[in-house]
Structure 1
Amino acid sequence: MNKYETIADLLKQRIRQNLYPVGSFLPSQSELASEFDVSRMTINKAINILTMEGFVSPQRGFGTKILNRPFWNNDVSPVDQYNGLTSEMARYHRDVESKIINFDVAFPDSDEQAHLSLTAQQPIYRIIRLRLVNKEPYILEHTIMPVDLIPNLTDEILHHSIYAYLQDELGLQIAGAYRNIQAVKPDALDLQYLNCKPDDPVLEVAQMVYLKNGQPFEYSHSRNRYDKRSFTELSLRK
């Protein structure tokens, strides 16, 4: 879990325990940065999480007001933040497992070349993983990654967190992602691995994920059970 996520969880706990009463204001970002020995940027990220979940509301010129009115009781994912499912579920103290359905190396087709800025001679990993949360089928991930950018990917890594390997072992810095989210009908793999019914909708998230140098390193389509996952977006007027 990232530092700002840990801080966000602690601040939410304080709000729930009424240590920060509804209607009062959070300590200033400078005070919180000093308390947690982090930068103001880290505190700002933590407060953004609380804002998106309905715990607080920034009031320009006054501070951050305590609301404690979470918008949803179920777990949701901010659409503009993603550090991988393992990190995301760690915030809710949930266990994530990965079952490998397919893992091979091939040369990219024209669509994959275009999305990952590759030539026809640059090999890719083609990965299909079933992600289980607390033993329940959650997401079926179809992922394409360039081999030369992410060398030595193994079954052992796929059973855990690819993003942890990228960041902790390879030292790659993830900048963000571009996503398209839509409802689709389940296909044969969804019916088999997500335990969907033929008339259940599936939430498909197609995404391109980029490094800080602008290099795309992931082109994926994740198939989400409609009753397991949702996404939120926060729009603020500046």
Structure 2
Amino acid sequence: MAKAKYLEVAQIILDRIKDKTYVAGEPLPNQEILANELDVSRLTVKKALDGLERKGLVYKQSGLGTFVSSDIPIQSGIDSPANMFTGLKNLMGTDNVRSNILHFSVEFPNEQVQKNLSLKKTEPVYNILRLRIVDNQPLIIEHTYMPVDLVPDLSEEILHSSIYNYIHHTLKLKFGHAYRKIKATKSSEYDQKYLMAKKDDPMLELEQIVWLTNGQPIEYSTSRNRYDQRDYTILENTRF
């Protein structure tokens, strides 16, 4: 699958930041200029800049444009923005991410899933367990529940690719807001088997509920990774 166009634009801008074509503290060309130069829409440029801003690489000043940020000294290669909801493939790029399906079924929800997804006990959900692999290394175990009515025709082919791309581009659904809780926990048998965690290794667990713009919850999930393989970061854009 080809990389999304806005990710290609983001990579071009990132490369220019790295080679000092765009210098820290200086404004980037405006969206219209970048769109014309790269032969894409202004919306594509905006999505690219929004993604770079979430990573702390650029910042926006109202009425002045988008500027290159100074380097973040504590940033590392395993950082993942805690407020990004584009999916792992869109975050990491499509070429180096794949999924192994550990479990996929349709079933009636238990009490916790009913509560988190505002469902009745007779409303079926997908129960999805995937091992996410990046650069041929196991990185994350994702356990996801989604209402069948909101995400129809979900298939193993989609699970091997990107559920979020299917939701956004095929079903034309948009996320409105999300709740995320990150905590430390002990390794489980699944962590030890699939993530090569040791029995005493601490794990990072991200638990989340995602709602659509109409207020309907569409996802309840947990994601687990080893303590030494992924960090979660938050960049605060404070404007006074």
TM range (shorter): 0.7 to 0.9
Note if contact 2:56-2:235 (Cα within 8 Å) is conserved in structure 1: no
Alignment partner of 1:32 is 2:34: yes
C-alpha distance in structure 2 between counterparts of 1:61 and 1:156, whole Å: 44
Note if contact 2:110-2:121 (Cα within 8 Å) is conserved in structure 1: yes
Aligned to 2:141: 140
Q: 2:82 aligns with which of 66, 75, 79?
A: 79
Aligned to 2:20: 18
Note if contact 1:16-1:68 (Cα within 8 Å) is conserved in structure 2: no
User: How has the CA–CA distance of structure 1 residues 173 and 55 changed in structure 2, closer, same or farther, with 3 Å as cutoff?
Assistant: closer
1:185 maps to a residue whose letter is K
2:203 maps to a residue whose letter is V
Residue 128 of structure 1 deviates from its aligned partner by 1.0
* C-alpha distance after superposition, 1:28-87 (max 9, x if no partner): 345435545433x65454334434444334456654443451442414222222211122
Aligned to 1:7: 9
What percentage of aligned pairs have identical amino acids?
43
> Which structure 1 residue ranges, 5 or more long, are not aligned?
none
DSSP-derived class of the 1:21 partner:
coil
C-alpha distance in structure 1 between counterparts of 2:86 and 2:125, whole Å: 22
Residue 206 of structure 1 deviates from its aligned partner by 0.4
Note if contact 1:53-1:70 (Cα within 8 Å) is conserved in structure 2: no
C-alpha distance in structure 2 between counterparts of 1:22 and 1:171, whole Å: 37
Residue 3 of structure 1 deviates from its aligned partner by 4.4
Residues matched between the structures, number: 235
Question: Any residues of structure 2 matched to 1:121-160 within 5 Å, and which?
Answer: 121-160=122-161
DSSP-derived class of the 1:139 partner:
strand
Residue 121 of structure 1 deviates from its aligned partner by 0.7
Question: Any residues of structure 2 matched to 1:148-227 within 5 Å, and which?
Answer: 148-227=149-228
Note if contact 2:26-2:67 (Cα within 8 Å) is conserved in structure 1: yes
Residue 109 of structure 1 deviates from its aligned partner by 1.5
2:22 maps to a residue whose letter is Y
Q: State the TM-score, normalizing by the size of structure 1.
A: 0.86
Farther off after superposition, 24-33 or 194-203:
24-33
C-alpha distance in structure 2 between counterparts of 1:232 and 1:57, whole Å: 16
DSSP-derived class of the 1:189 partner:
helix
Question: Any residues of structure 2 matched to 1:36-115 within 5 Å, and which?
Answer: 36=38, 37-39=40-42, 43-58=45-60, 62-71=64-73, 72-90=75-93, 94-115=95-116
User: How has the CA–CA distance of structure 1 residues 28 and 220 changed in structure 2, closer, same or farther, with 3 Å as cutoff?
Assistant: same
> Which structure 2 residue ranges, 5 or more long, are not aligned?
none
